Structure 1
């Protein structure tokens, strides 16, 4: 049975410290059009007394059999709502595809959001069905990803965790995120790069990314830059893309040669870039894994320098 308390269980991982939610800030100048994607809430206490057991079972069966993805019946008492294609679901779809590609060594490309459901409990879980394409053979495919918009606690403005990333019809990978399995090295507060980082005692943990590496990995680095800006404004940022990368420094404790630090499963990225329109941005993304397939956590922070 689909467990509605899963999100509550995972949220307890943060209960040792009061979680912080993102503050809604004004859009960057000049602001792109802002669309209200808020869904109306029609639930009331009296609705519980009028629940049709046939409707309840129909809803429960769809949720259980699809894992939250293929649900087209939304009674007022359900925890799922339909959201469709929004700036959030589009960006998180790309993040799910990135996690899958990173783990599988593939290059699946985003085409569109087919449908998306949101589950509201302590935080928000997105169940997104995506039209994607494999450029290797130009074949379309249906991709599913579940991304958790989780609580924040380590000085980040956003934390997104990919929990399910799969081609539809393949085996389910729906295990909980294992916070305890994340290396303790990556659990401190995130802060901007220190001035002596590349020359200090820990210099071997750092790698200043070369322009050739930026070109070879441009697609997902552009995604990271978009994620950085989205963590601050939560709106459509297409008017500010693509960005021009100025400098990227990677820090990881993994014992790999410098040029491979960019592909480390656990790493912190310090990025400075110029968005279209001249906006000067700095951002941090800490990427960590818990050792389970396609599970990735992205802790994000953003600064504007002009």
Structure 2
């Protein structure tokens, strides 16, 4: 599992693979110590080997979501739990699932979370969500990668798993080559141009109406993610935000109001926090065409 995740991080950074070490001289013949009594250190080594084997097995079987707390010392997973970041990333994972499936699962609480640092931080979160259609609670799993930032954004989140627990939907690595290159080259520090809605590319833009906001509440989540990228704190004192203006840009050939549903789109958002700060946020949503995958590139400014 760890080799795969490290390869993913290296691909993301365009790092060349590490060279293998040269072959060393053959070791000396192995002597038979099988009849010698075990020392305390030998017993500890055996216990460690058994613990590491159990740890790896549980990680492989659960995908990193369910590991015995007594075994985490044998690997890179760390117990985490409910916190401002796991709550927010849970909502991002649910949004990815709802976007793909056309559902409306609503976040309730984080049940447990693990983190793993391999070049960058990955979260494995088990949460409880409400399915309003069935009026029932469901257990949901999401793995969110707090990935390397590019293009001058302040935060990049990539969902690698977003599924109802127990469904065993197949997972895969994020494919950076599967994303439209148009959305990888733009500088995220460049705000919306004044003539965007009237210029030569005006058909790529759509100014969101108030009715759109009512029908697409996830845009408030995007504002929350943008604010988190700036502050990285508990945002409860600043929420809910008041949305002032949202403009979306996409190259997908769809009706204007459907641009909100584009798999690849950039959102320019003006909003005010509950404490009165005027903010601007850019959130770029992209996908690589694989199930359970979504990337959010984020930039935020607090103007007052």
Q: TM-score, normalised by structure 1?
A: 0.86
RMSD: 1.5
Q: Any stretches of 5+ residues in structure 1 without a counterpart?
A: 18-47
Q: Deviation digits for residues 131-182 of structure 1, max 9, x if unmatched?
A: 1110012111100000000000111000000010111111233200000010
Partner in structure 2 of residue 204 of structure 1: 203
2:59 is the alignment partner of 1:59: no
2:142 is the alignment partner of 1:145: yes
Say which structure, 1 or 2, has more relative contact order (CA 8 Å, 6+ apart).
1
* Residue 72 of structure 1, CA deviation: 2.1
| CA–CA separation in structure 1 for the residues paired with 2:161 and 2:209 | 32
The answer as to whether partners of 2:283 and 2:299 remain within 8 angstroms in 1 is yes
| CA–CA separation in structure 1 for the residues paired with 2:5 and 2:195 | 40
1:231 to 216, 225, 229: 229
Partner in structure 2 of residue 98 of structure 1: 95
* Residue 283 of structure 1, CA deviation: 0.2
| CA–CA separation in structure 1 for the residues paired with 2:213 and 2:298 | 19
Partner in structure 2 of residue 222 of structure 1: 220
The answer as to whether partners of 1:280 and 1:304 remain within 8 angstroms in 2 is yes
Q: Deviation digits for residues 162-210 of structure 1, max 9, x if unmatched?
A: 0101111112332000000100110112221111111110000000001
Larger of the two Rg values belongs to structure? 2
The answer as to whether partners of 1:14 and 1:153 remain within 8 angstroms in 2 is no
Q: What's the secondary structure of 2:92's corresponding residue?
A: helix
2:131 is the alignment partner of 1:134: yes
2:240 to 239, 242, 259: 242
* Residue 5 of structure 1, CA deviation: 2.3
1:159 to 121, 145, 156: 156
| CA–CA separation in structure 2 for the residues paired with 1:118 and 1:251 | 34
| CA–CA separation in structure 2 for the residues paired with 1:223 and 1:215 | 13
2:80 to 68, 71, 83: 83
| CA–CA separation in structure 1 for the residues paired with 2:74 and 2:283 | 37
The answer as to whether partners of 2:55 and 2:74 remain within 8 angstroms in 1 is no
Q: What's the secondary structure of 1:52's corresponding residue?
A: helix
- Aligned pair count reads 273
* Residue 6 of structure 1, CA deviation: 2.5
2:283 to 266, 282, 285: 285
Q: What's the secondary structure of 1:69's corresponding residue?
A: coil
Partner in structure 2 of residue 34 of structure 1: none
| CA–CA separation in structure 1 for the residues paired with 2:229 and 2:106 | 23
Partner in structure 2 of residue 35 of structure 1: none
| CA–CA separation in structure 2 for the residues paired with 1:211 and 1:14 | 38
| CA–CA separation in structure 1 for the residues paired with 2:203 and 2:72 | 56
* Residue 256 of structure 1, CA deviation: 0.3
* Residue 94 of structure 1, CA deviation: 0.4
Q: What's the secondary structure of 1:187's corresponding residue?
A: helix
State how 1:263-274 maps to structure 2 within 5 Å. Answer: 263-274=261-272
* Residue 279 of structure 1, CA deviation: 0.7
* Residue 86 of structure 1, CA deviation: 0.6
Moved runs in structure 1, 4+ residues, more than 3 A? 48-51
Q: What's the secondary structure of 1:152's corresponding residue?
A: coil
